[in-house]
């Protein structure tokens, strides 16, 4: 078996190709994530720059505007910090300790992520509902929007939980004696 | 560490990264992405390498860690190699070396991710102590697992390919 394993054919990469791989700019995954991040952050910044005139920001008190702006800015800040933290895959002197620390970090990020999303959703609702006289139709609309938000939260927590439980299973595969 | 020295080290030991990519990813584009991610993570962690172990051991650890911790879309366990395997004779002497290599890799890829790491290190002739240090498990645990994994591979080769 060892001979067959040692003789596996592998292509050889030149040093110039390897050199490109350590540049963040040419990293395929980092590029994809940072592009997505820039797009998301850009879209929210556009919303922030036009909401005041488009959604009657001037007619609402400063508290409503402040909550709206902070709610969105903190979500952008969280996305950036999560993007940076997700790159810290290697966190220990061996694989199991590295996985353990990574799992702890992901669990922390899961809660921060959910909390950040709740703040953002709450801020949006607060801004649009501030001073609004409620009637049956509006109440149902708010309930419907809240349901959509809740669905998004469930989807988000589900994504995090799947990632975390995969790593927990993997760690258990190593640590539970054969 | 100096960039050119780092690149020299990676260039010399790149077979380790190729093997890990082959073990943990099914398509060539996924393997290419993982290769790049591993090199990137190595570059970020290389200053933590204090020379207490061989550089190959360090590269293996970072490569395995990166392969397992990065997320990818879960695919159904389809082993691409199967299609390339011709009708098998019960006599494995008839198989060419290339076919045997393909079968071995295919069988290893059918194992759980943890077992793949252990058997790869065993086949690359790391001692149980070194494997334990890389993975963070006891030498005894490695020993128990290795014999179990070898049995699994034998069963897989017999059941899947009739050899």
pLDDT of B97-136, one tens digit each?
778 788 888 889 999 999 999 999 999 999 999 999 999 9
Q: Residue B92 pLDDT more than 60?
A: no
Q: Do domains B1-74 and B84-163 have the same CATH topology?
A: no
Number of residue pairs across A and B with CB atoms under 8 Å? Answer: 130
CA angle A19, A21, A26 (to 5 degrees): 115
CA distance B105 to B91: 19
The HSE-up count of residue B21 (CA atoms within 13 Å, CB side) is 22
The pLDDT, as a whole number, for residue B154 is: 87
Q: How far is A16 from chain B (nearest CA, A)?
A: 9
Nearest chain A residue to B144 by CA distance is A178
The pLDDT, as a whole number, for residue B10 is: 93
Decide if B135 and A96 are in contact by the 8 Å CB cutoff: yes
Report whether A152 contacts A117 (CB < 8 A): yes
The pLDDT, as a whole number, for residue B94 is: 57
Report whether A37 contacts A80 (CB < 8 A): yes
* pLDDT band, very low/low/confident/very high, at B85 (cuts 50, 70, 90): very low
CA distance A125 to A62: 15
**pLDDT tens per residue across span B7-63:** 999 999 999 999 999 999 988 889 998 999 999 999 989 988 887 788 999 999 999
For domain B1-74, the CATH architecture is Orthogonal Bundle (1.10)
A109 touches chain B (CB under 8 A): no
Cα dihedral value A97, B15, B67, B40, nearest 10 = 90
CA distance B75 to B78: 8
Residues of A in contact with B112 (CB under 8 A): 173
CA A30 to centroid of chain Cα atoms: 14
Report whether B48 contacts B1 (CB < 8 A): no
Average pLDDT over residues B71-98: 52
Nearest chain B residue to A98 by CA distance is B65
The structural domains of chain B, with segments of one domain joined by +, span 1-74, 84-163
Residues of A in contact with B136 (CB under 8 A): 92-98, 174
A76 touches chain B (CB under 8 A): no
CA distance A163 to B71: 7
Q: Which two tokens stand for residue A113?
A: 């992520």
CA angle B34, A98, B24 (to 5 degrees): 30
Q: Residue B82 pLDDT more than 50?
A: no
Could you state, in chain order, the average pLDDT of each consecutive group of 10 residues for chain A (178 residues)? 73 85 74 81 88 83 91 88 78 90 91 92 90 85 92 93 93 81
The pLDDT, as a whole number, for residue B83 is: 40
Q: What's the per-residue H, E or C state across chain B?
A: CCHHHHHHHHHHHHHHHHHHHHHHCCCHHHHHHHHHHHHHHHHHHHHHCCCCCCHHHHHHHHHHHHHHHCCCCCCCCCCCHHHHCCCCCCCHHHCCHHHHHHHHHHHHHCCCHHHHHHHHHHHCCCCHHHHHHHHCCCHHHHHHHHHHHHHHHHHHHHHHHCC
| Burial class for B75, CB neighbours closer than 10 Å (0-12, 13-18, 19+) | exposed
The pLDDT, as a whole number, for residue B81 is: 42
**Would residue B125 be called left, alpha or beta, if left means φ above 0 and alpha means ψ between -120 and 50 degrees?**
left
Return the higher-pLDDT residue of B95 and B46: B46
CA distances from B110 to A3, A60, A106, B126, B160 (A): 20, 61, 28, 22, 10
* CATH number belonging to the domain at B84-163, selected among 3.20.20.80, 3.40.50.10420, 1.10.10.10, 3.40.605.10: 1.10.10.10
Q: Which two tokens stand for residue A65?
A: 């505007």
The pLDDT, as a whole number, for residue B74 is: 56
A84 touches chain B (CB under 8 A): no
Report whether A175 contacts B137 (CB < 8 A): yes
The pLDDT, as a whole number, for residue A91 is: 79
Q: Among residues A79, A73, A81, which one has the least CA distance to residue A123?
A: A73
Q: Residue B1 pLDDT more than 80?
A: no
């Amino acid at each position: 078996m060892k001979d067959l394993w040692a003789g596996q054919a592998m292509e050889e990469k030149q040093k110039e190709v390897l050199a490109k791989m350590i540049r963040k700019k040419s990293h395929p995954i980092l590029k994809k994530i940072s592009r997505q991040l820039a797009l998301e952050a850009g879209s929210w910044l556009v919303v922030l720059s036009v909401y005041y005139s488009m959604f009657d920001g001037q007619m609402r008190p400063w508290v409503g505007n402040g909550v709206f702006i902070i709610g969105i800015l903190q979500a952008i800040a969280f996305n950036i910090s999560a993007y940076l933290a997700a790159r810290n895959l290697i966190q220990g002197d061996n694989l199991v300790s590295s996985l353990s620390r990574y799992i702890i970090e992901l669990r922390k990020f899961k809660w921060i992520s959910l909390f950040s999303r709740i703040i953002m959703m709450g801020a949006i609702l607060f801004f649009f509902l501030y001073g609004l006289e409620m009637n049956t139709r509006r109440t149902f609309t708010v309930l419907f929007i809240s349901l959509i938000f809740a669905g998004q939260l469930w989807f988000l927590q589900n994504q995090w939980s799947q990632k975390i439980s995969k790593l927990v299973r993997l760690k258990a595969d190593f640590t539970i004696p054969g | 560490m100096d960039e050119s020295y780092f690149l020299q080290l990676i260039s010399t030991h790149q077979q380790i990264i190729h093997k890990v990519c082959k073990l943990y990813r099914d398509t060539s584009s996924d393997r290419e992405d993982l290769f790049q991610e591993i090199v990137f993570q190595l570059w970020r962690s290389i200053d933590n390498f204090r020379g207490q172990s061989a550089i190959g051991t360090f590269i293996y650890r970072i490569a395995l860690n990166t392969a397992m911790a990065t997320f990818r879309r879960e695919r159904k366990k389809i082993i691409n190699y199967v299609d390339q395997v011709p009708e098998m004779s019960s006599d494995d002497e008839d198989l060419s070396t290339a076919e045997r290599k393909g079968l071995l890799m295919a069988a290893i890829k059918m194992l759980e991710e943890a077992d793949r790491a252990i058997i790869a290190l065993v086949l690359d002739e790391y001692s149980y102590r070194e494997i334990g240090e890389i993975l963070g498990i006891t030498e005894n645990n490695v020993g128990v697992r290795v014999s179990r994994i070898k049995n699994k591979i034998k069963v897989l080769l017999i059941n899947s390919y009739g050899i």
